[in-house]
Amino acid sequence: MSPLFSSSNRLDEQIGKKTKLLVLLIIFGIGLLIFFSSILHTALSPRHIPKLVITETNRALRGGIISQDGFKLAFSQKLYKAMVNTHNIDPDKKELFIQLFSIYSGIPAKTVSERLKKKGNVVLSYAIDANRAKYLKSLSRKLRLLKVFIPYKDKKGRIIKYGLSLTESGESRIFSYRDMLTPVIGYMRKYEEDGFTRPQGVKGLEKFYENTLAPIQNGIIRGERDIGNTIILSSDSFVKPAINGMTLYLNIPIGLQIGVEALLDRAKKELKAKEAVACIMEAETGKILALATSNRYNPDHIRLKDYPALNVSAIEYTYEPGSVMKPIIFALLLKQKQVQPLEVIRTYGGRYKLGRKVITDEHKAEWMSAENVIIHSSNIGIAQLAQRLDAIDFVEGLKSFGFTQKSGIDLPYEHTGIMPHITQMESAIYKATVGYGYGMRATLMQLIRAYNVFNNQGRLVEPKIVADIVDQMGHHYPVNTTETIRQVLPPATATQMKKILEKVVLKGTGTKAITPGLEVGGKTGTAHIASKKGGYAKLYNSSFIGFANDKSHRYTIGVLVREAKKPYAYFASMSAVPLFKEIVDLLIEQGKLSPDSNP
């Protein structure tokens, strides 16, 4: 072998070794690159491990409504969503799960079984109440111990260990006594707040006090979790308390309200009326002790036929009041010293012509005293007396009694009614017709408030349903009023009118309201209902507005019977007055009035 050939072989061997070493280095480098890339990927990629710090939200609830005697009329409770992953249920123990969940939730087993036919995450109910949710959470822990829930691998190879979960889904409004105090209490609509269903007031007290009742602040708890996924409360935890809406305490006792509603229900049926409405107000304070109607509804289940009953007729229904306006006009005349109660007024035997209009009386007399114009409800007498008021005094006088204005009651959508303009009141016909309650419109609440002036030493007060507003810490807040008490009549004039209204009951059109031992007075009103086609239909609104007092209590009471169809029941003396008397008897029965044993 030549030296040249031997040298060439050694060179090839050296190149081969270097090549192998280079390849090994490259492979090693690639391996390191893969290793570090894997570490980096693992470090940067999101990992499906339980969070060490978790946050829970505790939703605040709407405030409640409580009667004067402490009964919960409306309150809120949380609803929970019950959800389970079907893959986590052991097939051999599925029937056990169905039966136990049915018992704890109150949902029929057949319904649960049907819902579990769907695979994956299944919602078993959106409306689990707070008590059942508590029991179901306990059941979930027991089912884990019984190994009803088993882990499984999802498509990405992750181990899933879900069981039965319960999360807040919404807030339910509970009306404890169904249709009692409706439509005053109102009804709700639902809206979504971050996936949580909330109730919101649409009518009645629920609407008027929406901002007061609405929840103030949701609670938040944030902190480290334990192995059972429960937050560990420590110095490092963050806690913000839930602040619920405020609670309304009413002036209305439930016993009195239910009693009045029962009387109205019976009256509507017996009189074949469209509706019967009544209100009881404490004279000095304006506190509403009962505000009732025969036309009510269940706020939880409003049907199409309930729609006409959604409005509060006492403040949203305006009508021509008829003869109950006569004492208001007479009081204005007394205030201005333009009439004397015992002066003699000619009443023309019950038929009187004013311009082209013929005015008639039921009580046909040639002459009567001015106070008897009220006692016997003479249209002719008041038509003549009303002429003594000039247009400005007439209109401004009625406004001072609260007509064409909101009463200030704490309910929404109150109507104000209407009356002729000052220029129209220059007319003798307008003065006459408004004098006996036509050509103007008012609400029952306006009339009660006006009559309360006679029973409250001449003072006009605001009616109020809510007595007190209290937060969850027990702090009290005043109920807002829109105006101060106004002195409408001198006390002496108010007393004069009160005595005349007592005579209406003793010997006039209100004799069926007599209650021995009590101071009872008032005035009847029977008014034609205007037809939409013009003129007046053969339908009537009958009302009696008055008062019932003992030595310690004074109440102003208003009754309205709409469109009674029973023969002769359209006369207020045959419908509204007896109903008024029954309400007074109820006040006696419940200890709110005490007749003098020696009247």
pLDDT digits (tens, 9 = 90+) for 301-331: 999 999 999 999 999 999 999 999 999 999 9
523 falls within a domain: no
Question: Is it the case that residue 358 has pLDDT exceeding 80?
Answer: yes
Say what the pLDDT of residue 350 is.
94
d(CA 196, CA 403): 45
Say what the pLDDT of residue 365 is.
94
Q: Mean pLDDT, to the nearest integer, of 238-261? A: 94
Residue 163's CATH number: 3.90.1310.10
Say what the pLDDT of residue 66 is.
98
Say what the pLDDT of residue 49 is.
47
Question: Is it the case that residue 480 has pLDDT exceeding 90?
Answer: no
Residues 287, 467: contact at Cβ < 8 Å? yes
513: amino acid identity, one letter: A
430 falls within a domain: no
Averaged pLDDT score across all residues of the chain: 91
Q: Mean pLDDT, to the nearest integer, of 421-431? A: 96
Q: Which helix (H) or strand (E) holds 85?
A: strand 72-85
81 falls within a domain: yes
564 falls within a domain: no
Q: Mean pLDDT, to the nearest integer, of 484-502? A: 96
Question: Is it the case that residue 422 has pLDDT exceeding 70?
Answer: yes
DSSP for 424-474 reads GGGSHHHHHHHHTT-S-BB-HHHHHHHHHTTTTTTEE---BSEEEEE-TT-
What total number of domains does the chain contain? Answer: 1
191 falls within a domain: yes
111 falls within a domain: yes
Q: What is the pLDDT confidence band of residue 43, given thresholds at 50, 70 and 90?
A: low
* Structural domain of 171: 53-247
Say what the pLDDT of residue 232 is.
65
pLDDT in tens, 548-588: 999 999 999 999 999 999 999 989 999 999 999 999 999 99
pLDDT in tens, 374-394: 999 999 999 999 999 999 999
358 falls within a domain: no
pLDDT in tens, 48-84: 445 577 676 788 999 999 999 999 999 999 999 999 9
State whether residue 106 is helix, strand or coil: coil
401: amino acid identity, one letter: F
**Rg of the chain, C-alpha, whole Å:** 39
Give Dmax (Cα) for the chain: 168
576: amino acid identity, one letter: A
Compute φ and ψ for 574, nearest 5 degrees: -100, -10
Q: Which of 83-92, 212-221, 491-500 has the highest mean pLDDT?
A: 491-500
Tell which residue, 496, 554, 176, 477, has the closest CA to residue 334.
496
469 falls within a domain: no
Tell which residue, 469, 473, 476, 71, has the closest CA to residue 244.
473
Q: Mean pLDDT, to the nearest integer, of 130-139? A: 90
Q: Could you give the residue ranges of the DSSP H alpha helices within 224-312?
A: 254-271
pLDDT in tens, 503-516: 999 999 999 999 99
> Residue 145's Cα: distance from chain center in Å?
47
Say what the pLDDT of residue 161 is.
73
